[in-house]
């Protein structure tokens, strides 16, 4: 705001030398303001595309904003997240590294970049790096994202379920309204054959997050295990109707089709 106030003062003073000089200064100030804020304008356009469920177009707009080299740290972070969601983990890691290594970036942005870089490492097959970074983050900062990451990675890498369930329960006590935390605990119960407990969580997810792929998939598993095949099939049909998968969706199309064919 101070910068724009200074522009205003300069333009005002320029008018003291005549309308031509003042108007010229005003035009220059407007053009320079547009130049400075161009990344933000492009990011706003990207947000509109994302809200319209055009993830790829949203990503392309954020990429344009990032490539100006004038984008804010928040825009850079969002760009990295979108690159990851669109199946470009190498691109995401490079973006997150740029934020993490930049001494001018605030600590909270660096921490968020590290959290999302963990997922990128996992998607790149760097499982040990992902687990190591997730544990490092979790030991320093216990928040919704770090709980979700550490539980997901331990489940995905088949760590002993007797160790993972208490951690998932702890995460659920921390934030029972986060869909990833709820899903982690439901999946942990499924892996431990505790289907009634999983059903309570699945029903909660289906009500609260009607476009969440994992809720329908894990729900179908639970209901099939409890003998309600009709309900399981209904959930898989609704999955196709209501959900759009991304690169970060933890359930693959192959897994969904295999489950459907098994019912």
The conformation of residue 143, written as its DSSP 8-state character, comes to: S
The 10s digit of each residue's pLDDT in 131-187 is 999 999 999 889 999 999 999 999 999 999 999 999 999 999 999 999 999 999 999
251 belongs to a structural domain: yes
205-222 average pLDDT score: 95
**Cα atoms in the Cβ-side hemisphere of radius 13 Å centred on 129:** 13
- Could you tell me the CATH number of the domain that includes residue 262? 1.25.40.10
Nearest to 29 by CA among 5, 45, 50, 46: 5
| pLDDT of the residue at 230 | 95
With beta carbons less than 8 A apart as the criterion, state whether 133 and 117 touch: yes
| pLDDT of the residue at 29 | 53
224 belongs to a structural domain: yes
128 belongs to a structural domain: no
CA 140, CA 96: separation in Å to the nearest integer?
Answer: 19
pLDDT value at 237 more than 90? yes
Provide the whole-model pTM: 0.81
Confidence label for 16 from pLDDT (cuts 50, 70 and 90)? low
100 belongs to a structural domain: no
| pLDDT of the residue at 8 | 53
Domain span at 252: 142-263
241 belongs to a structural domain: yes
With vertex at residue 192, the alpha carbon angle to CA 191 and CA 198, rounded to the nearest 5 degrees, is: 80
Instruction: Tally the domains of the chain.
Output: 1
CB atoms within 10 A of CB 127: 13
157 belongs to a structural domain: yes
pLDDT value at 223 more than 90? yes
The 10s digit of each residue's pLDDT in 26-76 is 555 555 555 566 788 888 888 898 888 888 999 999 999 999 998 899 999
131 belongs to a structural domain: no
222 belongs to a structural domain: yes
Residues 6+ apart with CB under 8 A from 28: none
The number of angstroms, rounded, from the C-alpha of 260 to the middle of its chain's C-alpha atoms is 28
């Amino acid at each position: 705001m101070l910068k724009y106030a200074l522009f205003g003062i300069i333009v005002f003073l320029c008018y003291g030398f005549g309308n031509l000089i003042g108007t010229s200064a005003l035009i220059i100030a407007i053009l320079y303001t547009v130049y400075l804020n161009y990344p933000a304008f492009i990011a706003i356009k990207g947000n509109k595309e994302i809200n319209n469920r055009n993830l790829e177009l949203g990503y392309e707009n954020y990429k344009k904003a990032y490539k100006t080299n004038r984008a804010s740290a928040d825009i850079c972070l969002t760009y990295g997240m979108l690159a990851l969601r669109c199946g470009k983990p190498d691109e995401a890691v490079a973006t997150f590294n740029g934020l993490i290594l930049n001494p001018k970036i605030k600590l909270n942005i660096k921490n968020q970049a590290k959290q999302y870089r963990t997922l990128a490492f996992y998607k790149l097959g760097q499982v040990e790096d992902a687990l190591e970074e997730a544990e490092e983050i979790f030991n320093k900062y216990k928040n919704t994202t770090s709980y979700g990451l550490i539980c997901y990675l331990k489940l995905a890498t088949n760590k002993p379920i007797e160790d993972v369930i208490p951690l998932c329960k702890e995460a659920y006590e921390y934030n029972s309204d986060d869909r990833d935390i709820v899903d982690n605990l439901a999946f942990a119960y499924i892996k431990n054959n505790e289907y009634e407990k999983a059903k309570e969580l699945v029903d909660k997810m289906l009500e609260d997050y009607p476009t969440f792929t994992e809720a329908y998939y894990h729900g179908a598993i639970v209901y099939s295990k409890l003998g309600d095949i009709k309900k399981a099939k209904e959930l898989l049909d609704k999955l196709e109707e209501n959900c759009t998968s991304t690169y970060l969706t933890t359930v693959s199309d192959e897994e969904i089709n295999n489950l459907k064919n098994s019912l």
